[in-house]
A and B are shown apart, each in its own frame.
Chain A
Amino acid sequence: MIEFKDVTKYYDNGVLALEDVSFRIEKGEFVFIVGPTGMGKSTLLKLIYREETPTKGDVIVGGMNVARLKPHQVAFLRRRLGIVFQDFKLLPNRTVYENVAFALEVIGLNKREIRTRVGRVLDVVGLLHKSNCYPAELSGGEQQRTSIARALVNNPPILIADEPTGNLDITTSWEIMDFLKRINTRGTTIIMATHNREIVDTMRQRVIALYKGRVVKDEPNGSYE
Chain B
Amino acid sequence: MIRPYSIHFILREAWRGLTRARLSSMAAIGIIAFTLVLLGMVGYIFTILDNLFTEVSHQFEIVVYLQDGLKEGEKALLQERLSKIEGVKEVIYVSKEEAWKRFKESFKGNKLALDIVGKNPLPDSFEVKLVDPLKSSKMAEIFKDLPGVKDVDFPLEAVNKFSRFIRWIEYAGGVITLVFIVVALFVIANVIRLSFVSRLRELEIMRLVGASNLFIKGPFILEGVICGFFGGIAGTIVLTILLYFLNTYIISSFPLFSIDISIYSLRTSFILIIFGMMVGGIGSVLFLERHAKG
Whether a CB of chain A sits under 8 angstroms from the CB of B207 is yes
Beta-carbon contacts under 8 Å, B1-36 to A: 3-6, 9
A107 lies within 8 A of B211 (CB): yes
Is A78 engaged at the interface, CB distance under 8 Å to the other chain? yes
Whether the pair A107, B208 counts as a contact (CB closer than 8 A) is no
- Distance in angstroms between the alpha carbons of A107 and B205 in the assembled complex: 12
Q: How far is the CB of A98 from chain B (nearest CB, A)?
A: 11
Residues of A with C-beta under 8 A to B118? none
Binds B, one of A21-29, A69-77, A118-126: A69-77
**Is B5's CB under 8 angstroms from A103's CB?**
no
- A95-120 near B? 1/0 per residue, CB < 8 Å: 00000001101111111000000000
- Is the CB–CB distance between B3 and A78 below 8 Å? no
A72 touches B211 (CB 8 A): no
B204 CB within 8 Å of chain A: yes
Q: Which of B194-208 contact A (CB under 8 A)?
A: 201-202, 204-208
Evaluate contact between B9 and A105: CB separation under 8 angstroms. Answer: yes
**B73 contacts partner chain A, Cβ-Cβ < 8 Å:** no
Q: Which of B3, B201, B206 contacts A106 (CB 8 A)?
A: B206
The answer to whether B209 and A154 have CB atoms under 8 Å apart is: yes
Contacts A103-B209, A107-B212 supplied; 16 other A-B pairs, CB < 8 Å? A71-B213, A72-B212, A72-B213, A75-B213, A78-B208, A80-B210, A89-B204, A89-B205, A91-B202, A103-B205, A105-B9, A106-B9, A107-B211, A108-B3, A109-B5, A154-B209
Shortest Cβ distance from A110 into B: residue: B5
CA distance A95 to B81 in the complex (A): 89
Question: In this assembly, does A49 line the interface, its C-beta being within 8 Å of a C-beta of chain B?
Answer: yes
> Do B5 and A150 touch (CB < 8 A)?
no
Which residues of A sit under 8 angstroms from B211, Cβ to Cβ?
A: 75, 106-107
**Chain B residues within CB distance 8 Å of chain A:** 3-6, 9, 201-202, 204-213, 215-216, 294
Instruction: Find B210's partner among A71, A78, A91, A150 (CB 8 Å cutoff).
Output: A78
Collect the chain A residues with CB atoms within 8 Å of residue B215's CB.
106-108
Whether B3 and A110, one on each chain, are in contact in the complex, defined by CB atoms closer than 8 angstroms, is yes
Distance between Cα atoms of A190 and B211 in the complex (Å): 22
| Nearest B residue (CB) for A113 | B5
Across the interface, which residues of A come within 8 angstroms of B213, CB to CB? 71-72, 75
Identity of the chain A residue whose Cβ is nearest the Cβ of B1 in the assembled complex: A108
The CB with the most chain A CB atoms within 10 A, among B6, B202, B210, B216, is that of B210
Given A72-B213, A91-B202, is A111 in contact with B208 using a C-beta cutoff of 8 Å?
A: no
* A residues neighboring B (CB under 8 Å): 49, 71-72, 74-81, 83, 89, 91, 102-103, 105-111, 150, 154
**CA separation between A49 and B205, bound complex, in Å?**
13
Interchain CA distance A154-B209 in the complex, whole Å: 9
- Asked if A79 contacts B209 (CB within 8 A), the reply is yes
The 10 closest A-B pairs by CB, nearest first: A78-B210, A106-B211, A79-B210, A103-B209, A75-B210, A108-B6, A106-B215, A110-B5, A106-B206, A75-B212
Complex interface: chain A residues within 8 A of B216 (CB): 106
Of B6, B201, B207, which is within 8 A of A91 by CB? Answer: B201
- Residues of chain A within 8 A (CB-CB) of B3 are 108, 110
A-side contacts of B4, CB under 8 Å: 110
Can you list 13 A-B pairs with a CB-CB distance of less than 8 A?
A71-B213, A74-B294, A75-B210, A76-B210, A77-B210, A79-B209, A83-B208, A89-B201, A106-B9, A106-B211, A108-B9, A110-B5, A150-B209
CB of A164, distance to nearest CB on chain B (Å): 14
Q: Cα distance A81–B216 when bound, in Å?
A: 19
B209 partner residues in chain A, CB cutoff 8 A: 78-79, 83, 102-103, 106-107, 150, 154
Residues of B within 8 A of A80 (CB): 210
> Which residue of B has the minimal Cβ distance to A81?
B210
Of B9, B204, B294, the contact of A71 (CB 8 Å cutoff): B294
Please report the C-alpha to C-alpha distance between residue A102 and residue B203 in the assembled complex, in whole angstroms: 11
Residue of A nearest to B208 (CB): A83
Closest to B7 in A: A108
Alpha-carbon distance A89/B202, docked complex (angstroms): 9
Provide the bound-state CA to CA distance between A111 and B273, in Å. 34
Complex Cα distance A154/B294, Å?
22
